[in-house]
Amino acid sequence: MELQRLLSYTRKAVDDYQLIEEGDRIAVGISGGKDSLTLLYALKNLQRFYPKNFSLAAVTVSLGFEGLDFFAIQDLCDKFEIPYHLVTTEIGNIIFHERKEASPCSLCAKMRKGALNEAVLEMGCNKVAYAHHRDDIIETMLLSLIYEGRFHSFSPKTYLDRTRLTVIRPMMYVQESEVIGFMHKYHLPVVKNPCPADGYTKREYAKALLSQINRENPDAKKRMFHAILNGNIPGWPKKTETLSR
Protein backbone atom coordinates (compact mmCIF):
# COMPACT_ATOMS: atom_id res chain seq x y z
CA MET A 1 0.00 0.00 0.00
CA GLU A 2 1.26 3.45 -0.92
CA LEU A 3 1.29 6.29 1.61
CA GLN A 4 -1.25 8.20 -0.49
CA ARG A 5 -3.76 5.37 -0.17
CA LEU A 6 -3.20 5.18 3.58
CA LEU A 7 -3.83 8.91 3.85
CA SER A 8 -7.02 8.59 1.80
CA TYR A 9 -8.40 5.96 4.20
CA THR A 10 -7.31 7.98 7.23
CA ARG A 11 -8.79 11.24 5.94
CA LYS A 12 -12.09 9.48 5.22
CA ALA A 13 -12.33 8.09 8.77
CA VAL A 14 -11.37 11.43 10.32
CA ASP A 15 -13.93 13.31 8.21
CA ASP A 16 -16.72 10.72 8.46
CA TYR A 17 -16.66 10.61 12.25
CA GLN A 18 -15.14 14.01 13.16
CA LEU A 19 -12.16 12.38 14.84
CA ILE A 20 -9.96 15.50 14.86
CA GLU A 21 -10.89 19.02 15.93
CA GLU A 22 -8.95 22.26 15.83
CA GLY A 23 -6.25 22.36 18.52
CA ASP A 24 -6.40 18.68 19.44
CA ARG A 25 -3.37 17.23 21.20
CA ILE A 26 -3.30 13.60 20.08
CA ALA A 27 -1.19 10.87 21.67
CA VAL A 28 -0.57 7.86 19.42
CA GLY A 29 -0.42 4.57 21.31
CA ILE A 30 2.67 2.77 19.98
CA SER A 31 2.93 -0.93 20.81
CA GLY A 32 5.83 -1.40 18.43
CA GLY A 33 3.74 -3.49 16.04
CA LYS A 34 3.00 -2.84 12.40
CA ASP A 35 -0.42 -1.31 13.03
CA SER A 36 0.60 1.42 15.47
CA LEU A 37 3.66 2.38 13.41
CA THR A 38 1.47 2.66 10.31
CA LEU A 39 -0.89 4.90 12.28
CA LEU A 40 2.05 7.12 13.27
CA TYR A 41 2.95 7.53 9.58
CA ALA A 42 -0.68 8.26 8.72
CA LEU A 43 -1.25 10.97 11.32
CA LYS A 44 2.12 12.65 10.83
CA ASN A 45 1.54 12.98 7.10
CA LEU A 46 -2.11 13.96 7.53
CA GLN A 47 -0.92 16.73 9.83
CA ARG A 48 0.92 18.33 6.91
CA PHE A 49 -2.23 19.25 4.98
CA TYR A 50 -5.31 18.69 7.17
CA PRO A 51 -7.32 21.94 7.53
CA LYS A 52 -7.60 21.59 11.31
CA ASN A 53 -4.39 22.10 13.26
CA PHE A 54 -3.43 19.37 15.73
CA SER A 55 -0.28 18.25 17.54
CA LEU A 56 1.08 14.73 18.01
CA ALA A 57 2.91 12.78 20.68
CA ALA A 58 3.73 9.07 20.87
CA VAL A 59 3.51 6.79 23.90
CA THR A 60 4.65 3.20 24.44
CA VAL A 61 3.71 1.15 27.49
CA SER A 62 6.44 -1.46 27.97
CA LEU A 63 5.24 -4.57 29.80
CA GLY A 64 8.72 -5.21 31.19
CA PHE A 65 9.69 -8.27 29.14
CA GLU A 66 13.44 -8.82 28.85
CA GLY A 67 15.27 -8.15 25.61
CA LEU A 68 12.94 -5.42 24.37
CA ASP A 69 14.25 -2.12 23.11
CA PHE A 70 12.44 0.74 21.45
CA PHE A 71 15.44 2.69 20.13
CA ALA A 72 14.29 2.36 16.51
CA ILE A 73 10.90 3.79 17.43
CA GLN A 74 12.59 6.65 19.26
CA ASP A 75 14.62 7.30 16.09
CA LEU A 76 11.47 7.32 13.96
CA CYS A 77 9.76 9.76 16.30
CA ASP A 78 12.85 11.97 16.27
CA LYS A 79 12.76 11.92 12.46
CA PHE A 80 9.10 12.95 12.54
CA GLU A 81 9.77 15.53 15.29
CA ILE A 82 7.18 13.86 17.51
CA PRO A 83 7.76 13.73 21.30
CA TYR A 84 8.10 10.09 22.42
CA HIS A 85 7.41 8.83 25.92
CA LEU A 86 8.28 5.28 27.05
CA VAL A 87 6.38 4.06 30.12
CA THR A 88 8.15 1.16 31.83
CA THR A 89 5.95 -1.19 33.85
CA GLU A 90 6.03 -4.64 35.46
CA ILE A 91 2.70 -5.70 33.94
CA GLY A 92 4.20 -8.79 32.30
CA ASN A 93 5.73 -9.99 35.56
CA ILE A 94 2.55 -9.32 37.53
CA ILE A 95 0.32 -11.22 35.11
CA PHE A 96 2.49 -14.19 34.19
CA HIS A 97 4.62 -14.73 37.32
CA GLU A 98 2.90 -13.20 40.33
CA ARG A 99 -0.73 -13.88 39.42
CA LYS A 100 -0.10 -16.70 36.91
CA GLU A 101 -3.21 -15.75 34.98
CA ALA A 102 -4.65 -18.58 32.87
CA SER A 103 -6.47 -16.04 30.65
CA PRO A 104 -4.21 -13.00 30.83
CA CYS A 105 -5.44 -10.83 27.94
CA SER A 106 -8.31 -9.02 29.61
CA LEU A 107 -6.35 -7.99 32.70
CA CYS A 108 -3.30 -7.07 30.63
CA ALA A 109 -5.38 -4.84 28.34
CA LYS A 110 -6.97 -3.12 31.35
CA MET A 111 -3.60 -2.46 33.00
CA ARG A 112 -1.99 -1.28 29.76
CA LYS A 113 -4.84 1.12 29.05
CA GLY A 114 -4.63 2.49 32.58
CA ALA A 115 -0.89 3.14 32.27
CA LEU A 116 -1.32 4.61 28.78
CA ASN A 117 -4.14 6.96 29.77
CA GLU A 118 -2.20 8.18 32.80
CA ALA A 119 0.82 8.99 30.61
CA VAL A 120 -1.37 10.66 27.99
CA LEU A 121 -2.93 12.94 30.60
CA GLU A 122 0.50 13.81 32.03
CA MET A 123 1.60 14.85 28.54
CA GLY A 124 -1.34 17.25 28.28
CA CYS A 125 -3.13 15.43 25.47
CA ASN A 126 -6.91 15.34 25.09
CA LYS A 127 -7.13 12.44 22.62
CA VAL A 128 -5.44 9.07 22.23
CA ALA A 129 -5.30 7.30 18.85
CA TYR A 130 -5.49 3.51 18.66
CA ALA A 131 -4.37 1.60 15.58
CA HIS A 132 -7.35 -0.74 15.23
CA HIS A 133 -7.95 -1.49 11.54
CA ARG A 134 -10.92 -2.89 9.63
CA ASP A 135 -10.10 -6.53 10.39
CA ASP A 136 -9.84 -5.75 14.12
CA ILE A 137 -13.33 -4.23 14.04
CA ILE A 138 -14.81 -7.28 12.29
CA GLU A 139 -13.00 -9.72 14.58
CA THR A 140 -14.29 -7.86 17.63
CA MET A 141 -17.83 -8.14 16.27
CA LEU A 142 -17.37 -11.92 15.90
CA LEU A 143 -15.98 -12.21 19.44
CA SER A 144 -18.91 -10.23 20.79
CA LEU A 145 -21.42 -12.46 18.98
CA ILE A 146 -19.76 -15.71 20.05
CA TYR A 147 -18.86 -14.92 23.67
CA GLU A 148 -21.30 -12.16 24.67
CA GLY A 149 -24.37 -12.82 22.53
CA ARG A 150 -24.58 -9.26 21.22
CA PHE A 151 -23.82 -7.36 18.02
CA HIS A 152 -21.08 -4.93 19.03
CA SER A 153 -17.61 -3.67 18.06
CA PHE A 154 -15.11 -0.86 18.56
CA SER A 155 -16.47 2.62 17.99
CA PRO A 156 -14.55 5.05 15.75
CA LYS A 157 -14.65 7.57 18.61
CA THR A 158 -15.25 7.04 22.34
CA TYR A 159 -15.29 9.60 25.14
CA LEU A 160 -13.94 8.29 28.44
CA ASP A 161 -15.82 10.05 31.23
CA ARG A 162 -13.40 9.16 34.01
CA THR A 163 -10.28 10.51 32.29
CA ARG A 164 -11.99 13.00 29.96
CA LEU A 165 -9.95 11.56 27.11
CA THR A 166 -11.37 10.75 23.69
CA VAL A 167 -10.22 7.56 21.97
CA ILE A 168 -10.10 7.71 18.17
CA ARG A 169 -9.47 4.97 15.59
CA PRO A 170 -8.33 6.66 12.36
CA MET A 171 -7.36 3.38 10.62
CA MET A 172 -10.84 1.85 10.74
CA TYR A 173 -11.09 1.65 6.92
CA VAL A 174 -7.65 0.06 6.39
CA GLN A 175 -7.41 -3.71 5.82
CA GLU A 176 -4.75 -5.67 7.68
CA SER A 177 -3.33 -6.97 4.39
CA GLU A 178 -2.74 -3.36 3.36
CA VAL A 179 -0.98 -2.62 6.63
CA ILE A 180 1.34 -5.59 6.01
CA GLY A 181 2.12 -4.23 2.54
CA PHE A 182 2.81 -0.78 3.98
CA MET A 183 5.10 -2.26 6.63
CA HIS A 184 7.26 -3.95 3.99
CA LYS A 185 7.26 -1.03 1.55
CA TYR A 186 8.30 1.55 4.14
CA HIS A 187 10.50 -0.75 6.27
CA LEU A 188 8.75 -0.02 9.55
CA PRO A 189 10.92 -0.68 12.65
CA VAL A 190 8.60 -3.31 14.11
CA VAL A 191 9.36 -4.56 17.63
CA LYS A 192 8.48 -8.24 17.97
CA ASN A 193 5.85 -9.02 20.58
CA PRO A 194 7.44 -11.27 23.27
CA CYS A 195 4.20 -11.99 25.12
CA PRO A 196 3.85 -15.72 25.96
CA ALA A 197 0.15 -15.57 25.06
CA ASP A 198 0.77 -14.12 21.59
CA GLY A 199 -0.86 -16.34 18.96
CA TYR A 200 -2.95 -18.28 21.50
CA THR A 201 -5.77 -15.85 22.21
CA LYS A 202 -9.49 -15.69 21.44
CA ARG A 203 -8.68 -12.91 18.99
CA GLU A 204 -6.36 -15.25 17.07
CA TYR A 205 -9.24 -17.73 16.96
CA ALA A 206 -11.55 -15.04 15.56
CA LYS A 207 -8.90 -14.03 13.01
CA ALA A 208 -8.56 -17.61 11.76
CA LEU A 209 -12.34 -18.06 11.71
CA LEU A 210 -12.83 -14.85 9.75
CA SER A 211 -10.17 -15.89 7.25
CA GLN A 212 -11.90 -19.24 6.70
CA ILE A 213 -15.32 -17.62 6.29
CA ASN A 214 -13.95 -15.15 3.76
CA ARG A 215 -12.16 -17.92 1.84
CA GLU A 216 -15.34 -19.93 1.54
CA ASN A 217 -17.54 -16.86 0.96
CA PRO A 218 -15.62 -14.22 -1.02
CA ASP A 219 -16.29 -10.64 0.13
CA ALA A 220 -17.86 -11.85 3.38
CA LYS A 221 -15.53 -9.54 5.35
CA LYS A 222 -16.64 -6.59 3.27
CA ARG A 223 -20.31 -7.37 3.91
CA MET A 224 -19.67 -7.86 7.64
CA PHE A 225 -17.94 -4.49 7.83
CA HIS A 226 -20.83 -2.74 6.10
CA ALA A 227 -23.23 -4.47 8.50
CA ILE A 228 -21.24 -2.98 11.39
CA LEU A 229 -21.22 0.50 9.85
CA ASN A 230 -24.98 0.35 9.25
CA GLY A 231 -25.86 -1.57 12.42
CA ASN A 232 -26.76 1.37 14.68
CA ILE A 233 -24.46 0.02 17.38
CA PRO A 234 -25.01 1.85 20.70
CA GLY A 235 -22.23 4.36 21.33
CA TRP A 236 -21.23 4.77 17.71
CA PRO A 237 -21.21 8.38 16.49
CA LYS A 238 -23.23 9.37 13.45
CA LYS A 239 -21.33 9.96 10.23
CA THR A 240 -20.88 13.58 9.22
CA GLU A 241 -22.82 13.09 5.99
CA THR A 242 -25.81 11.89 8.06
CA LEU A 243 -25.60 14.87 10.39
CA SER A 244 -25.55 17.35 7.52
CA ARG A 245 -28.86 16.16 5.98
Q: What is the pLDDT of residues 201-224, one digit of tens each?
A: 888 999 999 999 999 999 999 999
Q: Is the pLDDT confidence value at 244 over 60?
A: no
In a domain, 142, yes or no: no
Question: Which CATH number fits the domain that encloses residue 78?
Answer: 3.40.50.620
**Would 242 be classed as within a structural domain?**
no
Q: What is the pLDDT of residues 112-128, one digit of tens each?
A: 899 999 999 999 999 99
Q: Residue 162: inside a domain, yes or no?
A: yes
Number of domains in the chain: 1
Let me know if residue 208 belongs to a domain.
no
Q: What is the mean pLDDT of the chain?
A: 92
Residue 211 maps to a domain: no
214 domain-assigned: no
pLDDT the model gives residue 243: 45
Q: Whole-model pTM?
A: 0.92
In a domain, 228, yes or no: no
Residue 241: its pLDDT value, please?
65
Q: Is residue 205 part of a domain?
A: no
pLDDT at 200: 66
pLDDT of 107 > 90? The answer is no
Q: How far apart are CA 177 and CA 186, in angstroms?
A: 14
- Structural domain harbouring 18: 3-134+154-192
